[in-house]
Amino acid sequence: MERGTMTGIPTYDCLRLKQGEPEKWLRWDFWAASHDVAWLQDVRGGTPGRIPPSLLARLFRQGGTPHADPGECRTAFVARWDAEQLYVAFLAADTSIWYTYAHRDDPLYDEEVVEIFLAPRGELTHYFELELNPGNVIFDADVHSPHLLRATMTVDRSWTCTGLKTRIHATLPVHREPGGAGRSTEGGVRAGVWIALWQIPWAGLGEPPPVPGAVWRGNFYRIDRGPSDRYLAWSPTGEDPPNFHVPPRFGRILFVA
């Protein structure tokens, strides 16, 4: 669950999965009722956009429902862990779910995407960048940032997170080109969600599993493309133009037994 901030940096209590639960993780209905949800907000700072529980229930039950403000962009994530891997689920509300890039390590960040940045053991000069688009296409890279600045960082796109598993669920059709908004029978815009599920093995990161009480640093992001692009973050970086590569603003991920 998400807790209060310390000097503006949020802390996420990452709960350990119970026996038998890992097999259920790639089913969206397993975590949809979870209470340890963290919400994203404008990367420059702002108020998280929360999905009302009643609307969220209808989205899952009916596969989309008319939305009062189709311009709103609500995004949340849940994370868990065990001795083998880190589990992350993103929920991204949308009225137009699309992608064009279809190959691993394509520049997914130029389109619709959710992203995870992970700095093992809290070492901010080295972190991993993992991205997923609505077509279940992966981008993974190894980032070194000796001065904690985008201008001097190096990004190794040849790195691969071996054993990474992902899955996408969507309550609206997923299009291979921009546009294609869902329409309700009443003629209004239908809101849906796309759900990105990840299983990130510790071995794929070259790391031993954390122990209870360990703290990593990281951030969770989303880019929603449209007439006015939206850049969302769990821990806002406060930079304009939007910049995700700000390691000092990474939140704290506390591994809880």
Is the sign of the CA dihedral 9, 222, 243, 122 positive or negative? positive
The whole-chain average pLDDT of the chain stands at 85
Going along the chain from its start, the domains and CATH numbers come out as 2-256 (2.60.40.1190)
H-only helix segments in the chain:
28-31, 53-62
Q: Check pLDDT > 50 for residue 5.
A: no
Q: Rounded distance, CA 125 to CA 164, Å? A: 23
R_g of the chain, CA atoms, integer Å: 17
Which token pair is 64? 């989309």
Average pLDDT (95-107) is 96
pTM > 0.85: yes
Lowest-confidence segment of 38-42, 45-49, 84-88 by average pLDDT: 45-49
User: What is the distance between the alpha carbons of residues 33 and 14, in angstroms, rounded to a whole number?
Assistant: 16
pLDDT of residue 187: 46
What is the per-residue pLDDT across 156-213, written as a single tens digit (0 to 9) for each?
999 999 999 999 999 899 999 997 654 433 445 567 889 999 999 999 999 999 999 9
Place of tokens 């009722």: 33
C-alpha to C-alpha distance for 46 and 48, rounded to whole angstroms: 7
Which residues make Cβ contacts (< 8 Å) with residue 97, sequence separation at least 6?
Answer: 112, 134, 170, 172, 173, 174, 175, 180, 192, 194
